[in-house]
Amino acid sequence: MARQKRCRICKREGFIYLRHANLPLCKEHFIKRVLSVVQDTIRKFKMFSKKDIVLVAVSGGKDSLALWHILHQLGYKTEGLHIELGLGQFSEVSKQYSELFARKYELKLHLFSIKDELGSSIEELVKKSYEKPCSLCGTVKRYMLNKAARTLGLNIIATGHNLDDECARLLGNMLNWELDYIHRQYPVLPEEDGLAKKVKPLVFLSGKELQMYCEAESIEHTDLSCPYSKGARSLALLDIIEMIEEKYPATKIRFIRGFYKIRDRFIPTKQSKLHECASCGMPTASEKELCRFCRIKKRIKNE
């Protein structure tokens, strides 16, 4: 994505060259394009309307803050939600950038702490547990997102998953033929049994485009990555996807667009039925009486 001299539309100095579209753009036309890609995605997948209040999950990184900024620019009503994971300096800095953004644009930011809810931070939990950090963290984060939305009385959660994330996830699931996960991979998952609707408005924008959007709009964000992300399989998959894109531009967008069209052909192997957790009352697909979050909580108490 090297910079190019002249914008295709106005012939002014180029800010970015979008290789997958063979398109050089100036800063102004690049910003317009990003906004219109997101607007089209929201409409196409009937994500939400201007009447809704969208709860934006923000980590303090480039993708989620770009998402919040874009939705705000497009005139949607938004509130931010930051979940404090308790992962040392990484979490501290993430929270600071989320707060900085909220202050700058005078937007409401809700903070929820895992330690408050669970009695243990992710870091402490990982030290005590035999499970993989990302599996634990994923469960806890998903639970907290749903719980926060319910507590706040909001029923749409938007996350900053981008084109690269979606490609890596799809490839990972296909390599293992995880039919249930493949079927659930979609830019919008409807509200079900008291769980908020989940939407991913950035699925057609790459990480690099979002990085450049932050630069163009002077959005300050953290570049730190989670201490547990090193060596993660998802990062290896991202590298592989980038290698293919480098050699064959537009592979990522074709892969994802094509998949969304045929996703219904992947029939799930089981229909997960939700029931209320006997302890916290949140909907859960767990076959046990308690949801996985409450089982973790119980384990911590008994230690």
Binding residues for ligand Q46, rule: CB under 6 A, are 85, 133-134, 137-138, 226, 228-229
In the structure encoding, which two tokens stand for residue 22, read together? Answer: 């063979």
Nearer to ligand Q46, 53 or 134 (CB): 134
Element (H, E) at 158: strand 156-158
Distance of CA 79 to the CA centre of its chain: 15
- Does 296 participate in binding Zn ion (rule CB under 5 A)? no
Tell the smallest beta-carbon distance from residue 280 to Zn ion (Å). Answer: 3
Rounded to the nearest 10 degrees, what angle do helices 163-175 and 251-262 cross at? 60
Three-state SS at 82: strand
Q: Is 38 in the site for Zn ion (CB under 5 A)?
A: no
Which candidate, 12, 68, 70, 4, places its Cα nearest to that of 37? 70
Other beta carbons within 10 Å of 246: 10
- 291 makes contact with Zn ion (CB under 5 A): yes
Tokens of 94: 């993430």
Interatomic CA distance for residues 203 and 240, integer angstroms: 18
Please identify, using beta-carbon distances, which residue of 86 and 187 lies nearer to ligand Q46.
86
Residue of the chain from 14, 29, 166, 292 that contacts Zn ion (CB under 5 A): 29
48 vs 165 by CB, closer to ligand Q46? 165
Minimum distance between the CB of residue 185 and ligand Q46, rounded to whole angstroms? 16
Question: Nearer Cβ to Zn ion, position 7 or 66?
Answer: 7
CB atoms within 10 A of CB 167: 25
Rounded to the nearest 5 percent, the helix, strand and coil shares of the chain are 50, 15, 35
CB closer to ligand Q46, 165 vs 242: 165
Indicate whether 232 belongs to the interface with Zn ion (CB under 5 A): no
Interface with Zn ion, residue 10, by CB under 5 A: yes
The least distance separating ligand Q46 from the CB of residue 167, rounded to whole angstroms, comes to 16
34 lies in the site for Zn ion, by CB under 5 A: no
Site residues, Zn ion (CB under 5 A): 7, 9-10, 26, 29, 277, 279-280, 291, 294
